[in-house]
Structure formats: structure tokens, C-alpha cells
Chains A and B, each alone.
Chain A
Amino acid sequence: MLRRIWTFGRKETAEHWAVFVGLFVVAALLALIRWLSSRADPLAPGQLDAAAAVIMVFTPVAALVLGRRLIVREYQQRTVQFLEALPLRRAEFLFAKLVVGWVVLAGLVFGIINALFLASGEPGMMHWLIVLLKSLGYAGVLWSCAFLLGLVGRLRFALYIFVPLVIYLLETTTAFEIMRFGPFALIDPNTFPYERTALPLRALGESAAASSVLVGLAFTLGLIREGAFAERLANRASPREKSALTLSVFLSLLAVSVFEAKQQPPPFEFSSQEVERSRRWDIEVMYGWPELAPQAVSVIRDTERLFQRAEGLIPITFPAVRIVHNSALDQDDVRAVHLEDRGGVLLHVNLGMAGPARAELLYLVAHDAHTQATDDRAAFESQHWVLDGYASWLVASEDAEYEKRSWGRAVAAMKVAGLASDTLIRFEPLMERVGEQGAAALAFAIFRQLVQQVGPQRAVAVARSVVAESRAVWSGNSEFSAVFEATVGKPWADFIGDARAELVRRGKDLDGEAVRLSTSKATLSVRPGTLGSEVFYVVNGGAPKRQIICQLRHKELPPFDLFVPTKDLGSHPVHWPAGAYRVEGRLRGRYGSGVRVLVALECPVQSLGSSVRLAVSRMELP
């Protein structure tokens, strides 16, 4: 029998020697390219990492080419029937093909490893042996796989895609890790060329087992019904079959992607000992130092009261709320941290500071909790003002100081941006013009006016239509006006007119500093300078009584416009001396030519606890 197999093997070699030589040449070429780039890589710890790349990429290709030449072609061209006429058992010629393919692939691997070891000058026989055994184990599984795929005929194209897909699904949905299993563990690029002493026996054993199973399956397929089954599968796929296959593969990938996108992570959790927890809701405050424990308790109590009130008005499922003490923040600064999907609301605040931060914190809790509960729909542009206004109103109705501050901010925002019937509907440009705090304050003023005119129940009904019912987004001013009139019973334009009048009336309550700054005029322009184009700013207006430090906020933009939150903007300090009526300066060397930049000039107003944005511009540097 061995003699028959040997003779058949020689016939196969004589028939396919050119392909074998071709594979050796291509392998040498790839190894050379990879070795050269490895030499040029300043981070490569050694030149042997070329071996990992070449073995990992080239061996599967070589296995598929060999599978096609030795198996697929034989079946597709029906020459397998001639083989059946030879004085050989079917199992014998299949075995001979298996051996020929394996010897060629092993030879390729042997050649690559030896060449790269010689080129890199790596010493150590054990090292060489380990790398070689790992490569052979990997090649063995690949060849067994290609051998089996060769026998499944036209179904192999489907398997090329579906097998990796199944492995991917296993990897993402179970504890199985493909890179830690058998052949993949052997070829792990992190260890493959660098393991010098330990032979990965487990991975080698798994690879041997996988090879045996694959070869067993291949022989079963090749031998059942006297090989007729494999021959039938070998018929070429029609264009329709190929087209249907392409489509089904793509749709499977799509389904997997959508399935992945829908997976939700668990909520964010604290583990510190210094954590205060709410008994009723999923609210935790991490205070860090024991002396801040009373403040944490107080924050929990306030947040519970807020939730209790909000729950009575608009029933939603509140997400997890996590509040962290951060000593680096100022007294009126609260920082929201974005958490993936439904990971909860995470906010940083300085618990050690007394001041307006508490109300700002509660506003952000209400705002972000409602946003997350509606999968971000409540924050969609045309209805964002309702969310901001409602959340501010919730806090302001319990905190007179916050209400006063919000009215002041709203007046200042109106002085800067005006108030027309579409100002709030186009909320993103409004946020850009007056800053998020100014826009939220204007939204508060409108919602407060709504409560004043139609009562809390009907005002909350407007908010409920946005927050709780997740209704379709209002597509514009006219649609919103109709919805508003149907809910409130008053035309939107008339209502805005009343609100404007109210804001003008309240403007008289603003202190001198706020009036002076909010009526100051700032211009932003681009001028040529010694470092190309420079951003030039000029502020004209009421001289402040004390020196203030304004901020020139800036950020590079893509070619298109998207809303940029203030927290993403960089800062350049602008010193405004006491008594000065004019301040000018420039931002230079920060942005190159051809770049688009968003620039905004903001000045802090102490009585409002926030900044007034005097000017904003999207500019292109020539």
C-alpha cells in the first residue's frame, strides 16, 4: 500500500511542481518584504516578528492554493474519475494528496522559518525548534481545513465566510477566545517569535485534535457513497448561486453587527468605601474623604427629592446616577462624563465647595436622566429647549437663587442672540451663539413663562409629549407651532412675544456688571501676521470695575459644520483690565492655513455664575 501511495505522490508532485515552486518563490518574496519593513520599524523588538506576519498570512493562502490544485481541480475537472480507475483505493489517493499537500506546506514553513532565523541572527536551537513546531502545528490545522474545504466543492465559498462568522459570534457572545485556542494560540503575534523556552503543549495538543477532526470529516465526505457526494458538490456554482451567497453572507454580517450594536453594558459601579447610596433609586455619591460624608448625604437627599417630584410629573425609568467628588473643580463647575449607551449618568462636582454647584448638579442630573431615559431623543434639536426648560424649571421651583440666576442668564442670552419664534427651534445655533448655559437659561425662561400662562399641568403636558411619549421629532417651526397651539391653546408666535416682553421687564433687575458685559460688542476676524493667518479679536464695551479674564474658546472644525460643545473647545485667556473700554489681541500659530476654526469669546459674569458669550464665529484661515 505504501508503495502505491508513494507512486501516486510522485505523480502529484510531477503534475503540480510549478505551483509548489511558485509558492516557495512567493513565500520568499513576502518574507523579504516583511523582513525589510521589520528592519525599518523603530519599535520592532527583533527581526523575527516578520516570521509571525508571514506565517500567519501566507500559510492560509498557500493551504487554499494547494487545496484548490490538489483537490478542487481534480473534482471540478472530473479527473477524479480517472483516479478511481487506477489500482488504488479511494482512501489511498485521498491520503496521498493529504500527505503531498502537508509535505509542501511544511516545507514552505520550514524554509521561511530557517531563512528568517538566518537573516535575524537569532541564536538558540530550542528557540528555533519551538518556533518551527508552532508553525508546523498551525500549518497542519490549516492544511486539514483546506483539505476538507476542497472536498465540499462549491459550498466552500459559503464556509469561507460562515466559519469565521460562527467563530466571531462564539468569541463575542461566549467566554470562548479564539486567540487562546490551538492553532491561533500557536501563532499569537505577541509570543510566536519570542517564546524561547516553553513549548506550548496545550495549544499543540488542541491543534493536533482539531487537525484530526478535520481530516476525519474530510475522509468521511470523500468516501461516503463511494465518493459520489463529493463529486456532486464539486459542480461549479452558477452566477445566481454566487450572487445569492454574496448577499446572504453580507446579510449575516449585517445581522451580527446590528446584534452587537444592541448589546448593553452594565451600569457604572463604585467600589470605594466612601460611597453614599440612595435606598429608593439607583443613586450613588462617591465623596472620597470622610469629612465630606454629610455633603454626600445632602446631595442624595436633594436628588431623591428631585426624582420624587419628576416622577410625579412625567413617569420615566430613571437611569443609574453616579456623582463623584472632584476637588479640582470650581464652585459652580459640574462636569458630565459620557458613559456608553445606558451606563448611567456620571457627574463630577466639588462637594467641598459651598455655592451654586448644587443647583447646577441637580439640573444636569434631571437633564441627563431624561435624555438617557429617552435614548437621546429628548435632546434632539427642535425639542431640546423643552428638555432644558423643563429640567431647569424642576430645579428652579425648589431653589429661588437658581431661578433668579437663570432669569439673569436668560436676559443676557436674549441681549446677545435676540428672541424670535424660531430661535428655540434652531437650538443648536442658539447654543453655539450664547453657550449651553445661556441657551438652557433661555429655555428655562420660556418654560417658566409657559407655566405662568397656562399652568403647570399644561406646560408639563408639552414636556411629557417630548420626554415620556417619545413622539416623532418635530421637523420644523411650523409643525412645532401647530403642536404647541393644539396643546396650549395659544399661537407660538404670540407666546414668544409675551416671553420677550417678560425678559425685557426682568432685564431691569440685572446688576450693572451683567448689563455692561452682555451689551459689550466683540468682533472676531482673521488677519495676516508673521505666522500666517491669525485670529484677531476686539471687545468694545462697558469697562469692568475689576480686571476680568475672558476666554477665547477655539477648536479646529472639519470641512462641514457640526455642533461643538463648549467642553470640547480649547481656551486662550484674554485679560480685560479694570476700566478699559477696548481690549484686543490675537491667537497666533495655533491653526494652519486652510483650516476651519470655531472661535468664541466669553467673559465671566459673577452675578450670573456663568459666562456671557459675546461673539462666535466659524472662520476659515486662508
Chain B
Amino acid sequence: MKPLAIPSRRFQWLRKELRQLLPWAFALAGVQLGGLVYVLLSRPINAVVWANETPIMVRASSAYSGWYWFVWAFVLVWALLPREQDDGTLRFLFSLPVSRLRLFVAKVGAAATILFAATLADEISRWWLHLLNPTSFGGNTFRVQWAVVSLGLTTAVAWMGLGYALLLSVLRWFGIALALLASVALQAAIDQRADLGSLSPGALLSVDFHGTEPLISWRGLMWHSVAACLAGVLGGFLWLGRTERAASHISRALQRPAIKHTLIALIAGSSIAGMIVIGSNLVAEDTSPSETAAHRQFEAPIDVGGEEGLLTTAQYRFRYPKGLETRVLQLTKRADATYERLREALGAAVGPPISVDLTRTSPTHAGSATWDTIRLDLRHAHDDDELLQTLAHETVHVLALRLSDRREVDHDSSTRFFSEGLAEYLGEAIVPSKAHQSDRWFEAVVARKKLNIDFNDLVDRKEFVARFGESLLYPLGYTWVAVLVQSCGADTLGRVLQVLSRSEGLRDLSGAELWQHTLQELHCDLNQVRLEHEAALQRKATEFSKELALLPTLVGAIQKHDKDYVTVRAELEGLPIDGAVYQMSTRSSQAGGSDNFRTHVARHSKDGGFEFVVSRRDLKGDTLDFQLSMRWMRNGALVRHFERWQRAVIGKHPR
């Protein structure tokens, strides 16, 4: 019988582990190669731009890239250790005259080598692809410094994945369950506290830039590296250490019902307890100096509290705080008639009663609506008419959902301005007010004139919100709907929704193309409406010319910052408006979402400017996204003007 050949040379163990991982290495190479082929097939080869393909340069893809490498790290570790144990070959390895440390190094080294080779190949392929682009800009976006940062961070994240996977693999499926639970809990926490974003290893690839210089989160990188190293060493110790292969014991022990059940209970119990603690901490988080206590309490929706009452009319079912019954009764008296008028205006059939919840408040919205359901914030409306108008606005949303058979939601990016405009327009018809009407036109004219917004901006909601915020959709949508009615007839509104309810032909369309086809079915032309809208805004601009000439511009920039707060200074260019309130909104999502959306009220400074103080807890990374706005009373009603959303990098700003 041939004696067993024991590898003696230093790298033979590494080679053995690499051989074991070869199928997965091929799979990884195949996936990477497939990605390359996709780029080659989906666009002209000489139009590939390095910077647009590199995760650290494109925020939207950086987090996905981080998790992608994490998944591969887990796959490799699972193929190295749990698989060996399942096959019974781990026991065989321990019987060989090789140190445990060498075994550990070989296994981790093999996985790390494959991951590094993959990230390196990824970088090289991107670099190679961009060489084919000879253009002055697209072909010259590559910088060695950025490529090194990209390679370094990607490899670091992949290796961190190895460390965490080594420890979690000891717990097998429980480990994966734990990782998933941790990521869900982390995401919930980040939703509330933007600064916790650095706890997510995937976020390490989301790099802010100060000009062209990448601002690497060294602190996050260091903490994750230390944590991953500790997890890796502990995992290695448990799998391969001198504790009689603790991991094998744990794996076996996990099969024992008593231990398994205790563990399940412990994990679940501690997770629940942890979540409750996190949740209660988040609710009780402190405030920044610029925010009054009264303002801060409206950051999240709150229950009005007290005893609740139920009141049913023919078309609505109201749930309200008993303490405000008198006010709600005023609303319910006119609710059914309002419903009927709106239903007739849209040509909708009578549907089931709409459930209206008046028991909760919202910091940002006077109401919200979905299928057969409305939430109204009693606090937002100053009088009964305004409350009725809000109810009408939300009822229109409910009716629009019914009429479009929910397809309005499918096309939300292209139709949101219409949806809000429609609700504003019909809400206005219920409680007519010339002042309100004039204010909506004024806001739209100011937006058109100062921000140069046109129809193409309106039909791309994500981009619109990223640049101008959500609030401007309302006045611009209102004026567009008013012109649509003038141009195509009053019955167009309901018919637009009916056309949207048909799936044929429209499903894959978006933007101006969707609107062109929708209106075409109604024998109405989008371009006709567009040019009439432009003409109407111009007419109104002439009408408001005196006011527009006096309207100031609000400009601002970071003034100072420390580890807890960032102070933004704002100034008016032009004369101040009597009684105006100046505000600043912040968010943590550059993509234009409403993540960690906060509104801050101005503090007047001695030299006539304004100051806004933002807690760094509300910021993700080193970037501050902010929008300045002002609101004032015009013709007895509130009007608002929003400047564009701006971005400032805090990282290298002098303190």
C-alpha cells in the first residue's frame, strides 16, 4: 500500500485549499466575466467610462458591491470549513502532522487569495475597458489614486467578510440567521440615526469626495478590521484550535435539542430585547440646539392619545380622538357631499366606504392616502375649510387609485406630479379660494422662473425630488392639471386615470412617452398641453412681475462644524419679506430619498443672517445635503419657496 503523501513544502497546504475552492473560484470568475461581457454587449465598447463603472465613484452601486463581496466571502468560508466537517475530512486533516496554525493560515489564505485575485481582476478589467474609450473626458476619468482606493477598500471589505464568516460559520444556519437579523436591525437603526451608517460594512465603499480627493472612513475601516480580525481569530480558534475542535463540538452540540432550543430562545430573546432597547433609545434621542422641543416632537408621527371614537357616514368611516369630537363632527357633516362631487368630477363609481384615521400626526404631511384608507393630521389644518380641503385632496387619491386600478402607482415616477396636481385641483374646487389659487400659481411661477423647472423634470420624480424636493410637485402639478382641463376638457382627468388602468401598451412606458400615449388615447396632445402650460406660466409671471422682482434669494453654506454639530449660515440676496419664516431641510440620501429627513428653523444671527444647526447624528458620512426655503403669508394664505437642494462636504471644511 502506498504511504500517504504528506505535503511538506510551505505552500502545498495553500495549494490544497485552493484546489478545494477551485469550483467556487471558477464560479466567481464566471460571474465576473459575465459582468464584463454584459458591459461589452450592452453599450458601445468605446463609450465605457471608468468612473461610471467603479462602485466607489457611484454611490448607488457602492453598497451593493460591498454586500456582493460579503456574500462571496461567506460562500468560500462555508466551502472550506462546514463543508469539510460535513464530509468528515476535517477530522482527517487534524490527524496529519501539521500545526493547526498552518491549517488555519492555509484555509484563510486560500479564500483571501481568491477574493483578492477577483477584486484585482475586477479593477484590471475596468481599467482595460476604459482604455478603449479615447474621448477627452470619458476616457480620462481614470486616476491611479482612485483605482488604488477602490481596490484597497473592495479587498478590505471582502476580507472583512471572511473574518465575520469564519465566526458565524461555527453556528452554521444560525450564523446566517444571526447575520440577517443583525443587518435588518442595523438598517432599522440607520433609518433613524444616519450616523450609524458607518456600522454597516457595505457602507465602507460609499466614499465621499472632497473635490477629487476620496474621504475614506478610516475610523469605520479600522473598527471593522479589528472586529473582523477578532471574529476571524475566534472563528479559527473554535474551528481549528486546541480546544478539541470546539467548532465541531459546537456543531455537534447544536444538533442536541436542549442546547439548540436554548440557543434559539437566547438569540431570539436577546434580539427582541435589543430591538426594544434600540427603539426606545431612538425615540428618546436628544435634540440639536436649533430645534425647539415643540418642533422636535413632530419629527416622527405621534399618537394623539386618549380615548378614540368611531363615526360612520355613507362614504367614510372616521376614527378620531374623542377629545376633538366637535371638530371632527364639523368635518363629517360635509364629507359625503364632498365625496359625491369628487366622484362626479372624476366619473368614478360609488365604492366601499373610506376609512379615515384622525388619531395620528405627521411632521411632513397634512394627510396621506392609500387603497380605501386616509390618514389626516388634525393639527395641520387651521380651520374646518382647510381640513375639508385636505380630506378632499386625499379622497381624490383614493378615487384615483380605484379608477386607475392601482396602475397610477405602477407609473408613480411619471405620474406623481399629476396625482398631486389632480388632488390639489379638485380639492381647490371643493373649497374655492381665489387667494389659494393665486398662491399655487405664484409658487409654480417662482419655481419655473428661479429653478427653471420644465415638464421633463416633472415626469422623473426621483430626479425631481433629488434636485428640488417633493413640495414643489404640488403647485406645478396643480397648474399643469388646470391647463390640461382647459386644453382637453374637464372630463379628461377621470379619463386619464381610466387609460392608465389598462395595462396594454402603457406598461413599459415612462416619462413624456407615457404621457404622450395616454393623452393620445384621449385625442389630446401632450405637446399642446405643454406649450399651453408654458404660455400660462408666462402670463402669470407678467401678472406677478412686481412681486417676483422683489422676491429675495436665500443662499447658504457651512459656517463651522465640530464633532457633534454642523452650523449652516444663510443670507438673503434681496430685501427680506415681512413675517417670513426661513427654514432648512436636511436628508442623508443623495439619491433624493427622504432618508433621515429633518427640518430646521432659522436662528437669526447678530449681523442679519441666519443660522441653522444640524446634529451630526442626522448625517450619513461627511456630506451635508440641505435645502433652504422660506414661507410667508400672501393674500392671507401661506406660500412657500424652495431653493435647490445643495451638497457640501464637511470632511475638510475648516472648523
Residues of chain A having any CB pair with chain B under 8 Å: 18, 21-22, 25-26, 28-30, 32-33, 36-37, 39-46, 49, 121, 123, 172, 175, 177, 180, 188, 190-191, 194-198, 238-240, 242-244, 246-247, 250-251, 254, 257-258, 261, 265, 268-274, 286, 288, 324-328, 337, 339-340, 343, 375-377, 380-382, 426-429, 473, 475-476, 530-533, 556, 558-563, 570-571, 588-596, 620-622
**Which of B185, B209, B369, B456 is A337 in contact with, Cβ under 8 Å?**
B456
Contacts of B269 in A (CB 8 A): 25
Measured CB to CB, the closest approach of chain A to B554, in angstroms, equals 8
Q: How far is the CB of A370 from chain B (nearest CB, A)?
A: 16
B12 interface contact, C-beta 8 A: no
Stretch at the interface among B114-122, B427-435, B519-527: B519-527
* Residue B95 interfacial (CB < 8 Å): no
Query: Main SS of the interface on chain A?
Result: loop
Query: Given the complex, which residues of A lie within 8 Å of B37, measured CB to CB?
Result: 254
Chain A residues with Cβ below 8 Å from B264 are 18, 21-22, 25
By the criterion CB–CB under 8 Å, are A30 and B184 in contact?
Answer: yes
Given contacts A239-B23, A475-B134, A530-B571, contact A562 B49 (CB under 8 A): yes
Give the number of A-B contacts (CB < 8 Å). 311
Chain B: residues with CB nearer than 8 A to chain A? 20, 23-24, 26-27, 30-31, 34-35, 37-38, 41-42, 44, 46-47, 49, 51, 57, 79, 83, 134-138, 140-141, 143, 146, 177, 181, 184-185, 188, 191-192, 209-212, 214, 257, 260-261, 264-265, 268-269, 271-272, 275-276, 279, 300-301, 308, 310, 319, 352-353, 355, 357, 362-365, 368-375, 401, 406, 409, 452, 456, 503-504, 507-509, 512-513, 516-517, 519-521, 523-525, 527-528, 530-532, 534-535, 538, 555-559, 569-571, 573, 609, 624, 646-653
Once the chains are docked, how many angstroms separate the CA of A346 from the CA of B280? 55
In the assembled complex, the Cα of A172 lies from the Cα of B508 at a distance in Å of: 8
- On chain A, the residues within 8 Å of B523 by CB distance are 271, 273
A265–B513 alpha-carbon span in the complex (Å): 10
Decide if A269 touches B406 in the complex (CB within 8 Å). Answer: no
**B368 close to A592 (CB less than 8 A):** no
Note all chain B residues with C-beta closer than 8 A to A198: 352
| A270–B523 CA distance with the chains assembled, in angstroms | 10
Q: Could you tell me the distance between the alpha carbons of A63 and B303 in the complex, rounded to whole angstroms?
A: 35
Q: Known contacts A376-B44, A589-B557, A595-B649: does B181 contact A29 (CB below 8 Å)?
A: yes
- Contact sample, A vs B, 7 pairs, CB 8 Å cutoff: A36-B279, A44-B301, A269-B520, A270-B525, A272-B525, A324-B531, A562-B51
Minimal Cβ-Cβ distance residue in A for B310: A123
A286 near B528 (CB under 8 angstroms)? yes
Q: In the complex the two chains form, what is the Cα distance from A337 to B141 in whole Å?
A: 27
Which one of A197, A261, A593 lies within 8 Å of B558 (CB-CB)? A593
Contacts of B365 in A (CB 8 A): 42-43
Q: Which residues of A contact B528 (CB under 8 A)?
A: 272, 274, 286, 288
A268 to B525, CA, bound (A): 12
| Contacting pair A45 B649 (CB below 8 A) | no
Q: Given that A45-B374, A596-B211 are known contacts, is A381 also in contact with B531, CB under 8 Å in the complex?
A: no
CB distance from A594 to the nearest CB of B (A): 3
Contact: B42 with A258, CB < 8 Å?
A: yes
Complex contacts, B652 vs chain A, CB 8 Å: 593-594, 622
Q: A268-B516, A592-B624 are in contact. Are A562 and B647 (CB under 8 A)?
A: no
Chain B residues contacting A594 (CB-CB under 8 Å) are 209-211, 648-653
Interchain CA distance A475-B135 in the complex, whole Å: 8
- Please state if B188 and A36 are interface contacts (CB–CB under 8 Å): yes
Q: Would A380 and B46 count as touching, CB distance under 8 A?
A: yes
B158 to chain A, nearest CB (A): 17
Evaluate contact between B26 and A196: CB separation under 8 angstroms. no
CB neighbours of B456 from chain A (8 A): 337
Assembly CA distance A274 to B529 (angstroms): 13
Whole-angstrom CA separation of A42 from B380 in the bound complex? 13
CB distance from B560 to the nearest CB of A (A): 10
Q: List B contacts of A621 (CB < 8 A).
A: 211
* Docked-complex contact A381 and B558, CB < 8 angstroms: no
Q: Which of these, B27, B191, B275, B357, contacts A45 with CB under 8 Å?
A: B357
Contact of A37 among B188, B260, B519, B531 (CB under 8 A): B188
Bound: A238/B23 CA distance, A: 10
Q: Which residues of B contact A239 (CB under 8 A)?
A: 20, 23-24, 79, 83
Report whether B527 and A243 are in contact in the complex, using a CB–CB cutoff of 8 Å. Answer: no
Q: Are B23 and A243 in contact (CB under 8 A)?
A: yes
Q: Is the CB of B527 within 8 A of A190?
A: no
Query: Which of B409, B532, B647 meets A595, CB within 8 Å?
Result: B647
